[in-house]
Amino acid sequence: MELIETHAHLDYPDFEADLDGVIARAAEAGVTRILTIGTGIESSRRAVALTERFPNVYAVVGIHPTNVTEEGLDFLPSLRELAGHPKVVAIGETGIDYHHVPEELQPAKVAAVDSALLAQSSGDQERLIAEGAWKAAQADAFRMQLDLAAELGLNVVIHQRSSWSDTLEVLKEYTGKVRGVFHCFGGTPEEADEVRALGHLVSFTGIITFKNAEQVRNTAAAVPADGYMVETDCPYLAPAPHRGKRAEPAHARLVAETVARVRGITLEQVAAETSRTAEAFFRFQR
């Protein structure tokens, strides 16, 4: 049995002290290949460096939507250079995130103020203009990375949070040009169908093991065999029984075990299905 961990952040400080052990534990759990995901230019450089240190680690390079403001929109030459590395297998994670609103854009907490008057205030107008610019910058960075992926013949790892409609609208422009995987998917079976209708995939994390994640389990049960992958998004979202602790690639097995249970198939079948899908999507060499 071979599992592929399709979304880890091994370059994060959380793994600095014991990365060799983390990789070894993954292998012991049957996780034979790991994709480490960049979230900015420096993060992507570290991800590429890790592929040279560990034979079974591959990299995805990109600018996370919440880092677009910090990175600026002049990242493309550096990202293109990084994407030329032979062990870079996709662009990302990229996408749109309206959940993590910068502090300076959050509405002032004003009690008992008429909303119409508030909308007319110059301060609120300035905030709305700044919010529009923030959203536009994310969409621009998303399109730039999709263009680069199409240019290089790579697929993309997509981060979407509180931005479903806008993310899909951008992706529709690239139908037939580039495919994506919606990582850490938490949507309904119908939303997964919407993703698949555009030619994209979904991927499940340790959230699938959480008590309140029935919707994710329903989606994992319904998605076709060639429509999904497994991941951890480590160091985040440690699955049960490790909640509250650091997640690591070995936990992809716990994700796969839960997927197997809700689909009514064996762990070996999940490993085979998701490995085939990951190999076809990322097109990496053994």
Fill in the DSSP letter of residue 234.
B
Is 168 domain-assigned?
Answer: yes
List the domain range (segments joined by +) for residue 233. Answer: 3-102+131-282
Is 110 domain-assigned?
Answer: no
**Nearest CA among 53, 52, 44, 43 for reference residue 87:** 52
Tokens for 31? Answer: 């996780």
Is 126 domain-assigned?
Answer: no
- Which residue is listed with tokens 């990789």? 23
Mean pLDDT across the chain:
93
Is 225 domain-assigned?
Answer: yes
CB 202 within 8 Å of CB 7 = no
Provide the 3-class DSSP secondary structure of residue 114.
coil
Is 118 domain-assigned?
Answer: no
pTM for this prediction: 0.93
Is 112 domain-assigned?
Answer: no
Query: pLDDT (tens digit, 9 = 90+) per residue, 93-117?
Result: 999 999 988 777 765 433 333 444 4
Is 60 domain-assigned?
Answer: yes
- Range name among 29-33, 45-49, 124-128, 231-235 with the lowest pLDDT average: 124-128
Spatial separation of the C-alpha atoms in residues 247 and 14, rounded to whole Å: 10
CATH number at residue 260: 3.20.20.140
Count helices and strands (H / E) in the chain: 11, 8
Q: How confident is the model at residue 124 (pLDDT cuts 50, 70, 90)?
A: confident
Provide the 3-class DSSP secondary structure of residue 254.
helix
Query: pLDDT (tens digit, 9 = 90+) per residue, 15-45?
Result: 999 999 999 999 999 999 999 999 999 999 9
Taking the CA atoms of residue 83, residue 86, residue 92 and residue 93 in that order, the dihedral angle to the nearest 10 degrees is: -130
What pLDDT, on the 0 to 100 scale, is given for residue 112? 35
Domain count, the chain: 1
Is 174 domain-assigned?
Answer: yes
Q: Is the pLDDT of residue 121 over 70?
A: no
